[in-house]
Amino acid sequence: MAGRPHVVLGVTGGIAAYKACELLRRLTESGHDVTVVPTASALEFVGAPTWAALSGRRVATDVWTDVHEVPHVRIGQSADLVVVAPATADLLAKAAHGIADDLLTNTLLTARCPVVVAPAMHTEMWEHPATVENVATLRRRGVLVIEPAEGRLTGADSGKGRLPEPGEIFETARDVLARSAEANVLDLAGRHVVVSAGGTREYLDPVRFLGNRSSGLQGYALARAAVARGASVTLVAANVALSDPAGVKVVRVETTAEMRDAVLAAATSADAVVMAAAPADFRPTTTATAKIKKAEDGSAPAVHLTQNPDILAEVARERPRPGSVVVGFAAETGDESGSVLEHARAKLARKGCDLLVVNDVSGGKVFGEPENEAVVLDSSGEAVPVPRASKSALAHVIWDRVVAGLVEQGPGGS
């Protein structure tokens, strides 16, 4: 695309319309040229002057303004990406049935670029068979419909239907736009993937625990990238202080045992499992019910450890869904017994997974940093080095390899 990417931001008449202001700000501040197309009902929540001030452009509100420029056709034709956030049940129904009775629905019919839709509505409306069918229709046509979040809705109601955080919608939109030249942007559509992230904790007492330095950033990048490629994503997160990625089902755990149970449960319907988390290898044989006190004589208590279950090896061995692709991570350091890659190759053979992403963590590299570099090993022995770049870039390299494996096996892992 030449020049600044042109994004159309459609806004419909839901209470979450005010959140689109933050999404608009992020898009404009990151160098995107944004045209806001609010519906008449959206303007009841947020007025046109607000959209104009934040976008720096005149707001397109109807098909009759500047009619000589044919806005109902030109806006969609010139877009590099269309994002609708929030999208009401009414908008989903109109889009699914090709109804074009205002500027936004006309734009959706004329756009030939990727379209991202972020619904927001009450749970009953989201779960209604009509909405379910409309969403399925849009997805079959190549529209990326992001799953709503769970949480507080209008009034006292809570449930699924909340608009994901604007920052997370922005990350998904930017990811889709970056891949818009790909032949199949949504190459994980119809697939369910499971990603683990973070580091587990094994408690010594109610206060202290054994843990590690995993931040969860790479696992969350993998989850975001999978959503942007059309997947249904379950993210098993251990002790991670990050915002939930848009469109992702997040299962929170603390210990390795809890992570094992959550991963195995989700893996029964998964086409791919990516174990980016750092489960603790050991746990104390006993956990004190009260805080362990310092001894008067200065002695330290002995801590006896036992080995935790090996989640990656178990998933790779059991393959809860036949034909699934299993990816492991190895945070390695070289020592006198072998190099980082030598240790990693041994781990790949031992675990039995299809791919192993190897990080050299000597000196604490990778942990908590926005960038990563790695080597991706496969079971045939091929090693693909991934130069230092964003963790999102590495995530897409991994999903490229996963998609290749799934294509070889056929749809649904069969």
In the chain, where the domains are located: 6-178, 192-413
Q: Which of 212, 239, 359, 372 is catalytic?
A: 212
CA torsion sign for 279, 284, 289, 291 is: negative
pLDDT per residue over 246-267, tens digit each?
Answer: 999 999 999 999 999 999 999 9
**Does 184 participate in catalysis according to the annotation?**
no
Average pLDDT, the chain: 91
By C-alpha distance, which of 360, 362, 354 is closest to 342?
360
Asked if 46 contacts 19 with a C-beta cutoff of 8 angstroms, the reply is no
Share of the chain above pLDDT 70, in %: 93
Q: What is the mean pLDDT of residues 225-229?
A: 97
Report the CATH superfamily, name and number, of domain 6-178. Answer: Flavin prenyltransferase-like (3.40.50.1950)
H or E element at residue 227: helix 217-228
By C-alpha distance, which of 119, 120, 131 is closest to 154?
120
Give the DSSP letter string of 52-113. HHHHTS-----SSTTGGG-HHHHHHHT-SEEEEEEE-HHHHHHHHTT---SHHHHHHHH--S
Question: Predicted confidence band at 60 (pLDDT cuts at 50, 70, 90)?
Answer: confident
Q: Which two tokens stand for residue 252?
A: 């929170």
Q: What is the mean pLDDT of residues 152-156?
A: 77
pTM for this predicted structure: 0.91
Integer Rg of the chain from CA: 24
H or E element at residue 49: helix 48-55
Question: Predicted confidence band at 413 (pLDDT cuts at 50, 70, 90)?
Answer: very low
- Asked if the peptide bond before residue 148 counts as cis, ω within 30 degrees of 0, the response is no
Q: What is the mean pLDDT of residues 368-377?
A: 86
CA torsion sign for 147, 152, 156, 158 is: positive
CATH of 192-413, one of 3.30.2140.20, 3.40.190.10, 3.10.450.50, 3.40.50.10300: 3.40.50.10300
User: Given this chain, do its domains 6-178 and 192-413 carry the same CATH topology?
Assistant: yes
Query: What is the spatial distance between Cα 323 and Cα 141, in angstroms, rounded to a whole number?
Result: 26
Residue 411: predicted pLDDT: 55
**Statement: residue 31 has pLDDT above 60:** yes
**Statement: residue 356 has pLDDT above 90:** yes
Residue 414: predicted pLDDT: 37
Q: What is the mean pLDDT of residues 86-92?
A: 97
Strand 6-11 and strand 33-38: the pairing is parallel
Query: What is the spatial distance between Cα 359 and Cα 373, in angstroms, rounded to a whole number?
Result: 7
Residue 366: predicted pLDDT: 59
CA torsion sign for 207, 209, 213, 215 is: negative
